[in-house]
Amino acid sequence: MRYTKALGLVLFVTAILSVLVPQTAASCPVCYGAADSPLIDGMNAAILVLLGITGCVFAGIGSFFAVMRKRSKILHDHSPGKTSVDEKGILQ
């Protein structure tokens, strides 16, 4: 309970300070829309890198399941029609 009160107080003080001193809460040039800023080029490159990493991870997961499906189909096609286990526990 005491921890949540302290967190609420910190949030309240931060909100009051951002209202009283708006210069500290000012946006960066990217948010203002300065098209000639080098920050925009950096942000665009960072977005492309993150999209590339995410795409590679999804492609890896998809290829894993595709390989598992292919192996399962091969195993199913090469297995005999009827399998059974005898009294000794041997698969026939």
**87, part of any domain:** no
**23, part of any domain:** yes
Residue 1: domain span = 1-27
**47, part of any domain:** yes
pLDDT tens, the chain, 92 aa long? 567 778 888 889 888 887 887 766 666 666 666 677 787 788 889 999 999 999 999 999 999 999 999 998 888 777 766 677 777 877 76
In this prediction, residue 31 carries a pLDDT of 67
In this prediction, residue 14 carries a pLDDT of 86
Task: Tell me: do 22 and 42 sit in the same domain.
Answer: no
Task: Tell me: do 39 and 74 sit in the same domain.
Answer: yes
In this prediction, residue 62 carries a pLDDT of 97
Give the Å distances, CA to CA, from 89 to 15, 20, 81, 82, 86: 71, 79, 19, 16, 5
Give the Å distances, CA to CA, from 45 to 2, 34, 41, 53, 56: 44, 17, 6, 12, 16
